[in-house]
């Protein structure tokens, strides 16, 4: 019997075109200068690196957008994004939210992680991707005479959130039971 979940964990499709609405929102926030993983057809910035340019061998500077190939090579792209931020670039990455992988735990946890609610529809796709996605923001180190680690532990929604008031499930009146 074939494994019907195989597509969820495989690298059969490695190129997922950036959803235009997602890019527009992030571009408004960050003002991207370079698309480090592009083709002439899908480039999101005037300056971009193609497969022929080999973005992994280029110097990333300024504010960069990265939607890397999602196959086995993603670990190299995420590492390059992390290292480029250490050298002064800001790199915003669209990646599958694969929190169980080495590349995620080695690099992504050191960036700002934004989990995307639901599943994205990539390119001209009519169905959502078979995986959850996240935005990782790698920023340059803060220059200071002191050393610290910043942890972002607060959820900051991008839309109004309605929270139901706490209602106890079971109320026991001890005086009645005596």
Give 11: exposed, middle or buried? Use CB within 10 Å, 0-12, 13-18, 19+.
exposed
Rounded distance, CA 42 to CA 30, Å? 19
Give every CB contact of residue 176 below 8 A, 6+ residues apart in sequence.
none
What predicted TM-score, i.e. pTM, was given to this entire model?
Answer: 0.77
Per-residue pLDDT of the chain in tens (178 residues, 90 and over written 9): 444 444 434 445 556 788 889 999 999 999 999 999 998 988 999 999 999 999 999 999 999 999 998 889 999 999 999 999 999 999 999 999 999 999 999 999 999 999 999 998 887 778 888 889 999 999 998 887 777 666 555 555 556 655 565 555 554 555 555 5
Residue 81: alpha-carbon gap to chain centroid: 12
CATH number (3.30.1490, 3.40.720, 3.30.70, 3.40.50) of 6-138 reads 3.40.50
Look at residues 43, 40, 41 and name the one whose alpha carbon lies nearest to residue 66.
Answer: 43
The pair phi, psi for residue 109, each rounded to 5°, is -65, -15
Residue 55: alpha-carbon gap to chain centroid: 18
Segments making up each domain of the chain, as ranges = 6-138
Distance in Å from the first CA to the final CA of the chain: 60
């Amino acid at each position: 019997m074939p494994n019907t979940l195989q597509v969820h964990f495989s690298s059969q499709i490695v190129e997922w075109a950036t959803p235009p609405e997602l890019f527009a929102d992030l571009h408004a926030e960050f003002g991207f200068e370079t698309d480090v993983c592009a083709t002439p057809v899908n480039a999101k910035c005037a300056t971009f690196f193609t497969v022929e340019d080999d973005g992994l061998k280029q110097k990333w500077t300024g504010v960069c957008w990265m939607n890397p190939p999602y196959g086995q090579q993603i670990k190299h792209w995420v590492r390059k994004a992390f290292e480029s931020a250490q050298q002064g670039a800001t790199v915003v990455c669209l990646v599958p939210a694969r929190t169980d992988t080495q590349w995620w735990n080695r690099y992504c946890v050191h960036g700002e992680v934004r989990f995307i609610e639901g599943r994205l529809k990539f390119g001209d796709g009519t169905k959502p991707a078979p995986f959850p996605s996240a935005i990782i923001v790698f920023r340059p180190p803060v220059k200071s005479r002191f050393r610290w680690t910043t942890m972002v532990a607060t959820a900051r929604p991008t839309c109004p959130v309605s929270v139901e008031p706490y209602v106890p499930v079971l109320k026991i009146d001890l005086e009645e039971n005596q």
